Structure 1
Amino acid sequence: MASKNELRRYRANLADELHSAAIYETLARVEKEADRKRTFAELASSERQHAQVWADKLRANHQRVRTGPSIKTGLMKALVRAFGPRFVLPSLAAAEFADRNKYAGNPDTAKMSADEHHHASVVQAMANDGKPAATKGAEIANAESWHRGVSSGNDLRAAVLGANDGLVSNFCLIMGVAGAGTQNKAILLTALAGIIAGACSMALGEWLSVTNARELAKTQIQKEADELEHTPEAEEHELRLIYRAKGLDSEEASRVASQIMRDKDKALDALTREELGLDPAELGGNPWSAAGVSFCLFAVGAVFPAMPFLWSSGQFAIVQCIGLSVLALAAIGVFTSLFNGRSAGFSAVRQIVIGLAAAAFTFGVGRLLGVSVS
């Protein structure tokens, strides 16, 4: 009979494998390209086989096996259907990368461990539009950029966190003003001002951040281009050292570096990616679109706690504000569970507790200030 900890691990692994299988099956149904559709179907089949292993272990220990979809699974499937595979692939690639070693070191799961590493590589390649590497050196370079590709450019994470900023900040602002005993009209005006001011601030901050990042990247790339023009031997030596550090032997590193240096454009691209850690095609994204998205996401989150004051007033409006904000906080918590590795329930409860604690603090400060001023 397995121990309680082992049974808990079996259940967690079963849930993870069922979740992955369901997502890959949905991706296979939605995907239009035949090769990618077939790959998703193969991944789903592999995950189902893994799930069967853990289900068999639970049954062998006379445990009930639950195979129904979780809230997280249903939410991810809905996102796939609504926005398509490419919207969720970065989050999926991040999850596969984080879990690639979860079966390592156990002889009983050696094959599954190898499968997980393979899945992580495949999903990452598909998240990068499946662009093949031309050389072994390029493959290593692609592996090195894994962390940047997974951790950056994640639209889902940015959307959730942007909406969370708007929700929590305006919820706290409204509760602080309400705590001071302010009239309903003043609370509503404060909430609307908070939405506009916060959204504008977020948009401006995002625009400046992306613009500065792009300008810095362009400056660094230009310096690299100048060095490539005036000291090509030194740049080839740098490439050779980079590929040596990535695991190539001296001869192959020299061959790859020499081949890349034959084309100045390719050499600059390689040096930009390898030495500077930048993607020449992106350079931080478009500052105007980033600003617009930040404005909208903040406003969407901030509008929830303000809505009750449009049709209600007094204590009843405050209660509705708290209730609506709690629901929104729970929804954001569920969304964050898609990329933080936690369960949907845990993430929702944590989000609610933190949001309510912040709102309670500002309400208390508002009450103290309101009493002292009056």
Structure 2
Amino acid sequence: MEKDTTPGADGQSDEGPRNDHADHTHRDVSGGWLRPTVFGAMDGLVSNLGLVTGVAGSSASSRTIVISGLAGLVAGAFSMAAGEYTSVASQRELVQAELEVERRELRRHPEDELEELAEVYQSRGVEPRLAMEVARQLHEDPEKALEAHAREELGVDPTDLPSPTVAAVSSFLSFSVGAALPVLPYLLGATSLWYAVVLALAGLFACGAIVARVTARKWWFSGLRQLALGAAAAAVTYGLGVAFGVAVG
């Protein structure tokens, strides 16, 4: 019986065996630049929307609302930037201090550190002899050894530590953009609060939808959830503004 040599008769093409394992990509589970930027914008939106609605609820003039909104934008942006810089700088300094401890141990007790790294690989299912060989090869280069120990013991990549300056600048800019939306209608001549509320809630929905890129949620669910949270904050602060306005009046 002759073998059918027609292309594709045996499930393969003339180009060779078909690879059923197609290439695939994953979401950026660490968030990268997207997460802090979008969350910074959402912070600006929610906080300044609450401020604007609270002031508007007290029956303040449009001029007062604009001044309050711009003051909230500037103060909030600087606060976010300072907080992010301090937080990231402190984290970076702590990691660097721990890396120095590990570097010193690698110099003083190389054999103990070698066995420690091998034991880590063994605990993950690697055969003991192979685990020791991998650890030994990594220890031939001091920097690779430090990187391996940092990853396994500290859970960090010493070659990719976050930058305090980048964190501060990105937080400042993203917060400013978000906080500007509730004030923008007033700057363009609007006198009704509804324009600011609608624009801010639309921005919150968009931010929530973008955040879905780093989560497993549907974009519309994430967007509606953020819109609902922003609307709740605006409603509460507006009610407080009305109450305070009546009390002061």
Residue in structure 1 matching 2:197, options 298, 322, 326: 322
Pairing 1:123–2:1 present: no
* Rounded Cα–Cα distance in structure 2 between residues aligned with 1:294 and 1:178: 27
Residue 311 of structure 1 and its aligned partner are, at CA, apart by 3.0
Q: Following TM superposition, by how much is the alpha carbon of 1:313 offset from its aligned partner in structure 2, in angstroms?
A: 5.1
- When Rg is computed on C-alpha atoms for both structures, the one with the higher figure is 2
1:352 to 211, 227, 233: 227
Higher helix share: 1
| Deviation string, structure 1 residues 111-167 (Cα, Å, up to 9, x no partner) | 8xxx5xx75xx536xx9xxxxxxxxxxxxxxxxxxxxxx433522222211111111
Instruction: Identify the range of structure 1 (207-216 vs 343-352) with the bigger mean alpha-carbon deviation.
Output: 343-352
Q: CA deviation at 1:290?
A: 1.4
Higher RCO (C-alpha under 8 Å, 6+ residues apart): 2
Deviations 1:174-209 (A, max 9, x none): 111111111111111000001001110111111111
Say which of 61, 64, 81 aligns to 1:183.
61
Q: 1:152 to 1:199 in 2, by over 3 A?
A: same
CA positional deviation for 1:328: 1.1
Q: Which residue of 2 aligns with 1:275?
A: 153
Q: Distance between the aligned counterparts of 1:365 and 1:249, measured in 2?
A: 65
Amino acid at match of 1:302: A
Q: What is the root-mean-square deviation in Å for CA atoms of aligned residues?
A: 1.9
Query: Percent of counterpart pairs with the same letter?
Result: 41
- CA distance, structure 2, for counterparts of residue 246 and residue 220 of structure 1: 24
Query: How far off is 1:364 after superposition?
Result: 0.6
Distance 1:238 1:210, change over 3 A: same
**Quick one: distance in 1 between partners of 2:30 and 2:222?**
22
Q: TM-score, normalised by structure 2?
A: 0.86
Quote the residue 2:5 is aligned against.
none
Q: Deviations over 1:246-303 (max 9, x none)?
A: 21011111111122222222211211121111111122x2211211111000000110
Choose the corresponding residue for 2:218, options 340, 343, 348: 343
Q: Structure 2 CA distance, aligned partners of 1:348 and 1:276?
A: 35
The correspondence for 1:365, drawn from 233, 240, 249, is: 240
Q: 2:125 aligns with which of 247, 252, 274?
A: 247
1:293/1:252 CA distance change after superposition, 3 Å? same
SS at match of 2:157: coil
Identify unmatched segments of 5+ residues in structure 1: 1-45, 47-110, 128-149
Query: 1:196 is matched with which residue?
Result: 74
Residue in structure 2 matching 1:233, options 111, 116, 137: 111
- Tell me the alpha carbon deviations over residues 214-267 of structure 1, each in whole angstroms, 9 at most, x when there is no partner: 101110000001111111121111101110012101111111112222222221
Q: Is 2:167 aligned against 1:293?
A: no
Runs of 4+ in 1 over 4 A off after TM superposition: none
Q: 1:153 to 1:356 in 2, by over 3 A?
A: closer
Match of 1:106 in 2: none
Size of the aligned set, in residue pairs, is 231
Match of 1:123, SS?
coil
Q: Which amino acid aligns with 2:25?
A: V
Q: Distance in 2 between matches of 1:214 and 1:253?
A: 30
* SS across alignment from 1:219: helix
* Unpaired segments ≥5 residues, structure 2: 1-18
Opposite residue 196 of structure 2, the aligned amino acid is: C
1:38-77 CA distance string (max 9 Å, x none): xxxxxxxx9xxxxxxxxxxxxxxxxxxxxxxxxxxxxxxx
The 5 Å alignment of 1:91-170 reads: 115=21, 119=23, 123=25, 150-152=28-30, 154-170=32-48
Aligned to 1:308: 185
Deviates more, 1:336-345 or 1:159-168: 336-345
- C-alpha change, 1:337 and 1:266, in structure 2 (3 Å) is closer
Letter of the 1:298 counterpart = F
**Structure-2 separation of matches of 1:247 and 1:241:** 10
| CA drift at 1:326 | 2.0
Deviation at 1:350, TM superposition (A): 1.9
Q: Distance in 2 between matches of 1:274 and 1:338?
A: 28
User: What residue is the counterpart of 2:11 in the other structure?
Assistant: none
Counterpart CA distance in 2 for 1:257 and 1:123 is 29
Partners of 2:110 and 2:217 in 1: CA distance: 49
Query: Distance in 2 between the 1:251 and 1:300 partners?
Result: 56
